Structure 1
Amino acid sequence: MTFAVFGVPVEATVQREQSGKAVPLILVRCADHLVISGLSNEYLFKSEGGRKVLQQLVSLYNEDSGASLPDGVSPIDVAALIKCYLASIPEPLTTFALYDELKDARVSIDDLKNILKKLPNVNYMTLEFVTALLLRVSRKSALNKMDSCTLAVEFAPLIIWQQGDSGTDLRNHLRFTLKPPPKIVDTTTSTTTWDLLDEDDVDASSQIPLDDGSPPDYGAIEVIQCLIEHHNPIFTDANETVWR
């Protein structure tokens, strides 16, 4: 599997992987790793992760979308990789077409359930998969300090945005984190993206800055919080996500 997955529509990625799953394999690998790790790391999905490590992981999955995560990789970095992947896709999982409908339905579980049925199957199943993982994370909030509201704040800008939106500061930050060098790196050599970075660039515990003057999309946050808290009654017709 020698095709890129970052910056590629989820449906195209799933079609090319031919894995029998309706979810990109990178998300499956990351979720399995996090569940096995126990989901107890403080500020999981809020801590930024190491830029150098993230770029290494991006290169890994752009070269082999079915690769296993390297031994010893931090759950914080794996969680950040999920966010970076979602930030990279050209259209959100919820699609541009359903942006207004979803926000208008954010107080109704039944309405959200019916609207989500309009999604392409890959989008629907991937959204179900991601929010199922977030539900499990929220159940460990006493340990990881990430309840459903905090998770929704982190993920809303990555799952719901309008067409023509130039990008929230969070999405732009994540895209900058993964910005490749001007020239394509020759993967047949030992030179990699990190050779262009200093060790000082790595900060695995800092928080992603969110205050650059862009107001939060509170409606989108409410939608994602509802999808997390009421995941099971909303995604009743999806195959139950089975974790390793």
Structure 2
Amino acid sequence: LLQVEKRLELVKQVSHSTHKKLTACLQGQQGLDADKRSKKLPLTTLAQGLMEGSAVLGDDSLLGKMLRLCGEAEDKLAQELIHFELQVERDVIEPLFVLAEVEIPNIQKQRKHLAKLVLDMDSSRTRWQQSVKSSGLASNLQPSGAKADALREEMEEAANRVEICRDQLSADMYNFVAKEVDYANYFQTLIEVQAEYHRKSLALLQNFLPQIKAQQEAWMEKPSFGKPLEEHLAVSGREIAFPVEACVTMLLECGMQEEGLFRVAPSASKLKKLKAALDCCVVDMQEYSADPHAIAGALKSYLRELPEPLMTFELYEEWIQASNIPEQEKRLQALWNACEKLPKANYNNIRYVIKFLAKLTEYQDMNKMTPSNVAIVLGPNLLWPQAEGNMTEMMTTLSLQIVGIIEPLIQHADWFFPGDIEFNVTGNYGSPLHVNHNANYSSMPSPDMDHGERRQHDQARRPLSVATDNMMLEFYKKDGMGVRVMDTSWVARRGTSAGRKATSAPPAAQPP
């Protein structure tokens, strides 16, 4: 019992501390009913704020729908939290309070009362013994007289009270020891109630998440820059990425004769604005037709910001190995084989881009963008390794190999990708060959013009006023860094362009 008595104070301290900390964890005000507690709950305030925001924005916007759904979810979470806190308060906090503030203090009071009774008993015994001595009787004789009898009775009653109190205290202490399992069960109940609360909350959130995701997926106006190609195509229901088609179509109208297209650095603010507009699928062709370099920059940015290059990481090694084949015919065969392995979405988009770049090089006398130059400035945006090295390394070996891949694709676009192509796929743009919105140009010159006509037309063009970045082109002009010019005479010897379109394979060998 002495050990139990020592533990009483320790258990009281622990119970009191736990009760205090548990009470502090409650988000609602303790002691209030569910309705009053709900009004003061932070989650309820959050839910109300979300619903008010939804009402302001309306269901016409994605944010409005998200706010409404999240507001409903938070409100239900708040109701679950209130139920959880009420249960914890009833089954854990209140019993701990009773243990720390009622049951153990009662035992301790009983212990103090016993000590007082013992003192009273000792005092009675002392008075009785003094009475015996003062009577002058011998120690073995019983005192006589009314006073002595009264003192003896008082002593006996005190001893009886001590015995009763001691028995009661012992019973209470044994009771405390026996109920330790019940006290420990409070904490088990706490964990069980928490587990049930979290299970219900998780089920509630899992019920709302599909609705929230469905709203996200159903919303068509999603950004395209930096997003996977297939995701953008699936959401928009397109075959050609919107930024690619929009930029190519605008360039066909206003940029084919622009000197240094894709090489000249556009205005940073114009580029940022155009990219943002493309992300919203809203482009004012009239506004940007006067700045083809911004359009070209936006196309390069889109291609470069794809999480995976258009020509894919999976085929990177195969592209590089193909570019390293010394024999021209086998090299083209290997490049053709790699093209055929591209996923459908990537194939459609690289075909679209390469066909456009091939058309761009038809105006190389004016725009100075030969297949080699185009490959130099655009190649690194179409293919790059999954783990890039530093810039110096990329601008040496890797870039040379990538240029060796892109250049022949442009030179023989009709052979690699047979058949004509409609650049204005969605029909949302004007005629790319005959309508020119750039007031600084007269009309689009035909690549079939003779030299004199081109020269006369070129004099009417506005001078180039944007600063250019010649780093890449100058780099390739250095000794030992020139791009290999491929001997393609065998293609002409083997057959006409029409014949290649019909076979859709290298003339020397049909693919398996």
**TM-score for both structures, normalised by structure 2:** 0.37
Q: Does 1:224 align with 2:406?
A: yes
> Aligned pairs, how many?
195
1:52 pairs with one of 269, 272, 283 = 269
Q: 1:109 to 1:214 in 2, by over 3 A?
A: closer
Q: Which residue of 1 aligns with 2:229?
A: 10
Superposition CA RMSD, Å: 1.7
* Structure 2, unpaired ranges of 5+: 1-219, 424-431, 433-512
Aligned residue for 1:14, secondary structure, equals helix
Q: Does 1:86 align with 2:268?
A: no
Looking at structure 1, the residues matched to 350 and 411 of structure 2 have their Cα atoms a distance apart, in angstroms, of 14
Looking at structure 2, the residues matched to 60 and 52 of structure 1 have their Cα atoms a distance apart, in angstroms, of 12
Q: Which residue of 1 aligns with 2:494?
A: none
Structure 1 segments (4+ residues) deviating >4 Å: none
Identity of aligned residues (%): 25
Q: 1:164 to 1:235 in 2, by over 3 A?
A: same
Q: Which residue of 2 aligns with 1:68?
A: 283
Q: Which residue of 2 aligns with 1:186?
A: none
Given that residues 274 and 283 in structure 2 are in contact (C-alpha distance below 8 angstroms), is that contact kept between their aligned partners in structure 1? no
Whichever residue aligns with residue 5 of structure 1, its letter is S
Looking at structure 2, the residues matched to 84 and 141 of structure 1 have their Cα atoms a distance apart, in angstroms, of 23
Whichever residue aligns with residue 23 of structure 1, its letter is I
Q: Which residue of 1 aligns with 2:383?
A: 160
- Structure number with bigger Rg: 2
User: Which structure carries more relative contact order (alpha carbon 8 Å, separation 6+)?
Assistant: 1
Q: Does 1:240 align with 2:457?
A: no
Q: Does 1:40 align with 2:257?
A: yes
Whichever residue aligns with residue 303 of structure 2, its letter is L
Whichever residue aligns with residue 103 of structure 1, its letter is I
Aligned residue for 1:71, secondary structure, equals helix
Structure 1 position 213, deviation (Å): 6.6
Structure 1 position 70, deviation (Å): 3.9
Looking at structure 2, the residues matched to 224 and 240 of structure 1 have their Cα atoms a distance apart, in angstroms, of 20
Looking at structure 2, the residues matched to 126 and 62 of structure 1 have their Cα atoms a distance apart, in angstroms, of 18
Looking at structure 2, the residues matched to 213 and 110 of structure 1 have their Cα atoms a distance apart, in angstroms, of 28
Q: Does 1:95 align with 2:312?
A: yes
Looking at structure 2, the residues matched to 234 and 87 of structure 1 have their Cα atoms a distance apart, in angstroms, of 23
Structure 1 position 48, deviation (Å): 1.2
Q: Which residue of 2 aligns with 1:117?
A: 340
Whichever residue aligns with residue 224 of structure 1, its letter is I
Q: Does 1:30 align with 2:247?
A: yes
Whichever residue aligns with residue 119 of structure 1, its letter is L
Looking at structure 2, the residues matched to 133 and 113 of structure 1 have their Cα atoms a distance apart, in angstroms, of 18
Whichever residue aligns with residue 242 of structure 1, its letter is E
Looking at structure 2, the residues matched to 98 and 125 of structure 1 have their Cα atoms a distance apart, in angstroms, of 16
